[in-house]
Structure 1
Amino acid sequence: MSQVPDPVRVGRKYFQAYYRGAEAAEVYVTSLPNREFAFSYFGEEGMRRHISFGRLEELVEHLRAAVPRHVFYSTAYYRDPGAKDMEEKGWLGADLVFDIDVDHVDTTCKELHDKWGCKTCGASGWGGVAVCPRCGGEAIERHTWVCETCINVARDEVLKLVDFLEMDFGFSSHELLVTFSGHRGFHVHVEASEVRELGQDSRREIVDYVKGLGLDVRFLTAKTRSGYKLRYETPLGWYGRVARWVLIKVGSEDPVLSLSEWQSILEESVLREAAAVDEKVTIDTKRLIRLPNSLHGKTGLRVAPFTVHELENSDVVDRAKVFMKGEVVVQLEEGPKRVLDVELEAGKALTLPTYVALYLLLNGAKLLRFDTR
């Protein structure tokens, strides 16, 4: 049985092959001279940031020469993005960015690939838990993976968010860039000039809106002699969403209901229609986010960009796969039962596509064997 190779050495070799073929046209970033860049490298702890490039070719050359494990750029625009002091950078505005992570969405597939361990009592198991079921402790250590099921669930959340951005806020699909993060979710970028100068409070209000927070049934309805009905007849906004669900639940387009019945309909519509976005990412006007078409250092998958149409009609894993040539024989001491589009079994010698084996190696699976064919 062969010795399991060093993830740093193997990862760098594969990433080097990818970045060696990088072309400027494949690196998507607007207003490059005004963006800060940050990199993590194989074999190094932490991140090197406060880096700027004057031309796209300089960035591409850095990718080829330095072979980073992770690549980030700022959602913000700066007068001097290379300045070491944040106050000296000269903030000029920021894109409106949303992060949707499957960690924030309940999926049954977590039982197949996410492991947890309690730092308090030592209990462990598979699935997603907020607190330890044995001792109630909140100090939980997690080792998470991703499969096609949870990627598709996260994609559905993105499409709900896109509906808000297009139908409620009036953005064109051409102003939206969606990227698969390369691991457990998606990023949605809005680069319209109208959003650049929004402060944290304004961005938080947008988050609250798409999450359906603070909706009050008393403001959505108007009292009649026999009950309550929707205050306005419109297919737009949360009025339209509530109207759709009242039609589904009651079978009438303009029913008169009790306030408690309307509350139940509102809660159902929020449960079904709200988008599970991470508030911390959206309100951060100086956020670093993954560079489209770079590689994720824990998976070897591409941070694949999508138009809205492509997201609706493409296989996300297929678009994110990079290392398709060859196979690797691996043996798991223990690990997930499913990752990406492949079923796994611990203890057996498994012949896997290179992209799956590399994901297992980079994300810290307990491997007994890793033989490249």
Structure 2
Amino acid sequence: MTQKILVIFGTRPEAIKLFPVVHALDALDGVTPIVCVTAQHREILDQVLEIGKIVPDYDLDIMQPDQTLDALTARLLTKIGAVMDEVQPDRVIVQGDTATAMVGALAAYYRKIPVGHVEAGLRSYNIYHPWPEEVNRKMIGTIADLHFAPTQTSANALLKEAVNPDHVHITGNTVIDALHWVTDLIAQKPEMAGGLDELKARFAGKRIIGVTSHRRENFGGGLENIAKAIAAIAKRDDVALIFPVHPNPNVRKVMDAELKDLDNVAMIEPLDYPHFVHLLSLVELMLTDSGGVQEEAPALGKPVLVMRETTERPEGVEAGTAKLVGTDYETIVANTTRLLDDKAEYDRMARAHNPFGDGKSSKRIAQLALNAAGKSAH
């Protein structure tokens, strides 16, 4: 009997990490993947769907202007629940720690539908950093019966929470699968990432630093410190910074105030995934408060300075590919300067082993989901 597996996602990072899983499920006999997107990120989600060749079966288009987290959660719960009532899936798969993922798991729980959690077991052990993601993923971990842990560290975190070891599977991180997919695609069609050619010409001969910053917990003083640090780094004649700025007005206002008049800082619109992968290939290092970049950049040998107080991806820090620098102005500037000026330190980080995957995670996840389909694990 064919198993119906409902894959639910809503943001660009979820789409990047789940489109290889959808393809892997589709390649298996006995599985029908059904895709429901909530469109927490509308335009940038659509870009990934196009690149990943995913046509959603359900598109909830959930977002409204200035929507609060509780309003978003309520709308997600009723709309995702209606999809589940119509589809009657045998299993639900969610990824990560978004509101979509948490509510998808909760709606499945209310219907006693088993849940598989991609990228399970990430923990910062601080419920406000990152906020609200830390609580979201802990809630999913309580509900899920299949935990696809990307690393041994994340698996250990689940085992410490008394999750049944038979339900925890170390699969690697599917972002590496997506990275390989898109890198191969760009090699075949360079024009897919040609939108950065003008910046490459403008900054020829300079050492490019990539920047992303959008975390809610950094709003206010944290973002202001980050902006001031970027401005200080930009005083160097030998560097240029490319900063795809998040559309959130809380981010744009702060960054514009400090950076908009600096010739060697390019504040650009958010990049689609091929262009972002191409940016990673161009930079010497990344300054970021993003989670996914901590996994992607090391796969291309690029050091990452993490502008957060904690990370749920300690594997990168332990391996030496990433370093936590928080949002302190002097710490960000000092660590960036060291990587630019100390070749031995740069090489140590650039050559460190990437602990996040081998590009085969999605196939492992799809097979595990098929093997468990129809079984009650609670």
The structure carrying a bigger helix percent of its residues is 2
The structure carrying a bigger strand percent of its residues is 1
TM-score by length of structure 2 reads 0.23
Give the number of the structure with larger relative contact order, counting CA–CA contacts within 8 Å between residues 6 or more apart. Answer: 1
TM-score by length of structure 1 reads 0.23
